[in-house]
Amino acid sequence: MPSKEDTVVEKEPGLSAEDLWQFYVENNCCETRYPMERATSVLQNSAAVVTARDHGKLVGVARAVSDGLSAQVMELSVALSHQGPGARNGTGALVEDDKFDVGKRLAQTLVEVLHSQGADWIEMVAWKTELETYSDAGFQVKEEDRAVFVDTRPLWKKAGQRSRRGDAGDRAPHRWRWLQEMMGVTLHEATDQDLPIAKNLVPYYIYDMSEYLGWACTPDGRFDGCDELPSYWEEPGKHAFMLRAGKEIAGFALVRGNHEEEDIDFSIGEFFVLRKFRGRGVGERIARQLFDRFRGRWKVAQLARNTPALAFWRKVIGRYTSGEFHECEEDSPWGEWNVILFRNDTSSRSGP
Ligand SMILES: CC(C)(COP(=O)(O)OP(=O)(O)OC[C@H]1O[C@@H](n2cnc3c(N)ncnc32)[C@H](O)[C@@H]1OP(=O)(O)O)[C@@H](O)C(=O)NCCC(=O)NCCS
């Protein structure tokens, strides 16, 4: 859970284009419809750049151009991870639910920097769902004025229409669709109809892991496993979820919350992201949603030989807890388990 204390807001004139671009990609920002070099030029041409960083990770950007008297805010973006559920357009480029005041602090710091440069008129065009954020930050709304503009951005280009800015718009729709697919993967509580679907996915899950765990297929060529799968649909305290991108199946996730151990509240039963959705932050986003949903003492265990899964969970939990987790090993008939323990039921996120 983001907190004010963890998020540092300050001017950062040396912000790198790579950091900015990664932020745009991760937060579904429309700038990714341009070639990546644009991230360099927007930074070079900004008079002021202010960032928000949570333990070093870029989670917000505010930029402005200025002639020394008047300034125009070009960007106020806050990572979706640092906005509340009201960020309904699903893009960090709009600050629609500034739950943790990151947008407000960015805007206020940007205004201070611009004032120090001599600008005493600072304006911007805000989307209607952002007005609260800006008025919280001290901006007034000019009811009597209307924004006038010429808009040839590829974002609004209709399918098949050629961009007036070279070929960026021709390549971009593919990237946009791809981004939407990735960002569009959502978590759904599984229904009874989902149990046979999850069962059908199990062989792919087992097959993927067999590469690292050395499991053989059955003599008739199958990869069986996850015998406990139905119990997640049946037993109280066990929770089954499907991952979906629109109507398309993207994986499943199982959470166990009926541990007999006194010091464990929840664990990950199984966790599977289909291949086409991997490597784009989907697993991390979904895992964080599960952690946020179930608060308590967590145990995430995987066979130590499953090195990719171990690397994944170390990264995800490391970032989620800001490094406040414990690791240990447990023996079992199937080999050594690596166990990651953390808790997320205290605001300080102290270790178990
Ligand atoms: C493991 C799995 C869930 C990862 O899903 P994903 O959507 O590709 O993961 P993300 O893109 O969100 O990755 C989050 C972080 O983990 C890292 N990571 C993901 N897969 C990794 C791998 N195979 N090896 C090393 N690191 C990996 C990523 O690099 C990323 O860190 P970064 O942002 O610093 O680069 C997915 O590959 C999978 O379903 N594998 C098969 C089943 C399995 O092993 N499940 C886990 C056991 S319960």
pLDDT 10s digits, 81-114 = 999 988 877 889 999 999 999 999 999 999 999 9
CA separation for the pair 281, 279 (Å, rounded):
6
pLDDT at residue 153 in the model: 66
State if residue 271 touches ligand 1 by the CB under 6 angstroms criterion.
Answer: yes
What is each CA distance from 309 to 47, 116, 182, 340, in whole angstroms? Answer: 44, 49, 20, 12
- Exposure string for 36-69, b = 16+ CB within 10 A, e = fewer: eebbeebbeebbbbbbbbbeebbbbbbbbbbeee
pLDDT of 13 > 90? The answer is yes
Residue whose C-alpha is closest to residue 283's, from 267, 268, 265: 268
Mean residue pLDDT of the chain comes to: 87
Tokens of 306: 């499953």
CA separation for the pair 279, 248 (Å, rounded):
18
- Highest mean pLDDT among 69-83, 142-156, 272-286 belongs to 69-83
Residue whose C-alpha is closest to residue 77's, from 21, 38, 35: 21
Q: Count of domains in the chain?
A: 2
Q: Which of 48-62, 112-126, 142-156, 316-330 has the lowest mean pLDDT?
A: 142-156
Query: In a 10 Å sphere around its CB, with 0-12 CB exposed, 13-18 middle and 19+ buried, how is residue 193 labelled?
Result: exposed
How would you classify the pairing of strands 337-343 and 326-330? antiparallel
Residue 272's pLDDT band (boundaries 50, 70, 90)? very high
202 and 143 belong to one structural domain: no
Q: To test the ligand 1 pocket, which listed residue (312, 314, 317) has its Cβ within 8 A of the most ligand atoms?
A: 312
Contacts of 228 (CB under 8 A, 6+ apart): 269
Give yes or no for a contact between 226 and 240, defined as CB atoms under 8 angstroms apart: no
14 and 132 belong to one structural domain: yes
pLDDT at residue 178 in the model: 54
CA atoms 281, 345, 96, 60: torsion sign: negative
Domain containing residue 131? 7-149
Tokens of 226: 């996850």
pLDDT at residue 172 in the model: 44
Q: Which of 31-35, 93-97, 336-340 has the lowest mean pLDDT?
A: 31-35
Residue 161's pLDDT band (boundaries 50, 70, 90)? very low
192 and 144 belong to one structural domain: no
What is each CA distance from 283 to 77, 209, 267, 294, in whole angstroms? Answer: 23, 16, 16, 17
202 and 128 belong to one structural domain: no
Q: Is residue 190 part of a domain?
A: yes
279 and 134 belong to one structural domain: no
Q: Is residue 158 part of a domain?
A: no
Q: Is residue 124 part of a domain?
A: yes
Q: What is the mean pLDDT of residues 118-135?
A: 89
pLDDT of 147 > 80? The answer is no
Instruction: Give me the CATH number covering residue 293.
Output: 3.40.630.30
pLDDT at residue 113 in the model: 96
Q: Is residue 236 part of a domain?
A: yes
249 and 324 belong to one structural domain: yes
* Residue 350: how many other CB atoms lie within 10 Å: 11
Ligand 1, atom 4: closest residue by C-alpha: 283
Q: Is residue 64 part of a domain?
A: yes
Residue 154's pLDDT band (boundaries 50, 70, 90)? low
Residue 233 CA to ligand 1 centre (angstroms): 25
189 and 289 belong to one structural domain: yes
192 and 339 belong to one structural domain: yes
Q: Which of 25-34, 193-202, 321-330 has the lowest mean pLDDT?
A: 25-34
Q: Is residue 164 part of a domain?
A: no
pLDDT of 160 > 50? The answer is no
144 and 205 belong to one structural domain: no
135 and 189 belong to one structural domain: no
**Which of 94, 125, 149 is the C-terminal boundary of a domain?**
149
Residues 170-214 have pLDDT tens digits of: 444 454 455 555 557 889 999 999 999 999 999 999 999 999 999
Q: Is residue 177 part of a domain?
A: no
Residue 278 CA to ligand 1 centre (angstroms): 7
Q: What is the mean pLDDT of residues 240-245?
A: 95
131 and 276 belong to one structural domain: no
136 and 90 belong to one structural domain: yes
CA atoms 194, 182, 320, 208: torsion sign: positive
Q: Is residue 195 part of a domain?
A: yes
State if residue 340 touches ligand 1 by the CB under 6 angstroms criterion.
Answer: no
The percent of residues in the chain predicted with pLDDT above 70, rounded, is 89
Which atom of ligand 1 is closest in space to residue 274's alpha carbon?
A: 39
Give yes or no for a contact between 298 and 342, defined as CB atoms under 8 angstroms apart: yes
pLDDT of 46 > 60? The answer is yes
Tokens of 155: 């974002």
Ligand 1, atom 18: closest residue by C-alpha: 312
